[in-house]
Amino acid sequence: MNYNEFIKKSETDLFIIGEAGVNHNGDLNMARKLVDVAKDCGCDAVKFQTWKTEKVYCRERSVKPEYQQAVTCREESEYDTIKKLELPFDAFRELKAYCDDQGIVFLSTPDEQESADFLVHELHVPMMKTASQDVTNLPFLRHLARKGIPLIFSTGASTLDEVLEGVAAVTEETRELILLHCLSSYPAPLEDLNLNVIPELGRLTGLPIGFSDHTVGVEAACAALALGARIFEKHFTLSHDQDGPDHQASLTPQDLECYVKTLRNLRKALGDGHKRVMPSEESNRGAFRRYIVFGRDVVEGQVLAPDDFLFKKVSEGIAPKHLDEIVGRVAARDIAEGELFDWSQLLSSPDGA
């Protein structure tokens, strides 16, 4: 899918990314199962993360992010935890081919230049997503922007100025950019989501906006959709019982399926914003309306007054909005109470001329 195709799709539908991330636990077979789940649940794409641990993490850094400490071995360094989750390039070659066979878009977030080059030049990914950790990594952003494919730019744990600076760095090279509002907390508390940032980012940048959803449930995504988000990313896992940094903040397959269906149904419900009579209500249009009916007997030559009429539900007739055009006119004949008003019942003017 190229950028223009994505934009066209977003006008009537959504682009939903099932974020497998590192929930394969370094196991290629598990990664394939995650692809199957994303496909079966109706996601447009499944996304992984590609990196060389030694190029991103320092062995000396032993303190892991707070959310990782709670769900991984505390005695294990961040480097060792991440190294166990790393998949080799050969595994990604197999995953890309498997995704192609299954008919789902393969995506991955590169964490350093070698991985980015591999994804673009060997796997020919249709687009790449940046991690929130790279919002201020302007040299890396420029490197990605020069690859000639669309970028999905995640904005977690960042100020507005940092986001705009990153956007400026990318748009020096390309305008094929999509922003994701994101809260880098796992799981993300609803009170911190600040979803009203979504239309604000769109207003400030003129770019398509999406939502990288780390909340529990679907409520936040529904609100994000109503605010203009058209691309969604959601972590999912095969089971919450597995060890690893992201499983607890991820949806089960059953919940992912519900998530995707809910968002797609809501997108249909939002429509295009143009008020008109819709096909499903066309047959009811006449039955719902009131029409002008004579509320009492009228004699030929009588000047008609407002009290001569009632507005009743009948199958067809003249709408009440025309009453002012009728009052003061002269009846052309005797008319019985309950008779439906028709213009032929009037003389052309009050004096009968």
Residue 72 near residue 119 (C-beta atoms within 8 A): no
Looking at the structure, tell me whether residues 139 and 50 fall in a common domain: yes
Give me 12's structure tokens.
């009537």
Does residue 353 sit within a domain? no
- Whether the bond into 187 is cis, omega within 30 of 0: yes
Q: What are the pLDDT digits (tens) for 238-261?
A: 999 998 888 988 999 999 999 999
> Do 161 and 307 belong together in one domain?
no
Decide if pLDDT at 284 tops 70.
Answer: yes
- The overall pTM is greater than 0.85: yes
Q: Are residues 173 and 307 in the same domain?
A: no
Q: pLDDT digits over 114-143, tens only?
A: 999 999 999 999 999 999 999 999 999 999
> Is the domain of 238 the same as that of 314?
no
Residue that terminates a domain, selected from 246, 270, 294: 270
Same domain assignment for residues 183 and 305: no
Is 277 a domain residue?
no
Residues 6+ positions from 223 with CB-CB distance below 8 Å = 195
Given pLDDT bands bounded at 50, 70 and 90, which one contains residue 352? very low
Mean pLDDT in residue range 10-34: 96
d(CA 235, CA 168): 28
pLDDT above 60 for 62: no
Co-location of 143 and 286 in the same domain = no
For 191-202, what is each residue's pLDDT tens digit? 999 999 999 999
The domain spanning residue 304 has which CATH number? 3.90.1210.10
Number of structural domains found in the chain: 2
Question: What is the tens place of the pLDDT at every residue in 169-191?
Answer: 999 999 999 999 999 999 999 99
Is 53 a member of any domain?
Answer: yes
Q: Quick one: 68 and 189 in the same domain?
A: yes
Q: What's residue 294's pLDDT?
A: 99
Question: Quick one: pLDDT band at residue 65, thresholds 50, 70, 90?
Answer: low
pLDDT band at 234 (very low <50, low <70, confident <90, very high): very high
116 and 202 together in one domain:
yes
Residues 199, 71 share a domain: yes
Please tell me the least confidently modeled range out of 102-116, 121-135, 152-166, 282-296: 282-296
Q: Among 221, 236, 270, where does a domain finish?
A: 270
Distance, CA of 333 to chain centre: 62
Q: In percent, how much of the chain has pLDDT > 90?
A: 84
Looking at residue 350, what is its pLDDT? 47
In a domain, 223, yes or no: yes
Same domain? 252 vs 286: no
Decide: helix, strand or coil at residue 323.
helix
Angstrom distance (rounded) from CA 52 to CA 254? 32
- For residue 332, how many C-alpha atoms fall within 13 Å in the half-sphere facing its CB? 11
pLDDT in tens, 259-273: 999 999 999 999 999
Whether residue 352 lies inside any domain: the answer is: no
Instruction: Tell whether the model's pLDDT for residue 150 goes beyond 80.
Output: yes
Average pLDDT, the chain: 94
- Number of C-beta neighbours around residue 186 at 10 A: 19
Share of the chain above pLDDT 70, in %: 94
Whether residue 295 sits in one domain with residue 236 = no
Confidence (pLDDT) at 287: 86
Instruction: Decide if 116 is inside a domain.
Output: yes
Among 232, 249, 270, the domain boundary falls at 270
Considering the domain architecture, whether residues 31 and 178 belong to the same structural domain is answered as yes
> How far from chain centre, in Å, is Cα 242?
29
For the segment 1-11, the average pLDDT, to the nearest whole number, is 83
Q: How far apart are CA 308 and CA 339, in angstroms?
A: 11
Q: How far apart are CA 25 and CA 87, in angstroms?
A: 9
Residue 351 lies in a domain: no
- Residue of 129, 118, 54 whose CA lies nearest to 90: 118
10-24, 62-76, 185-199, 317-331: which has the minimum mean pLDDT? Answer: 62-76
Domain hosting residue 308, numbered range: 282-345
Distance CA 81, CA 194 (A): 31
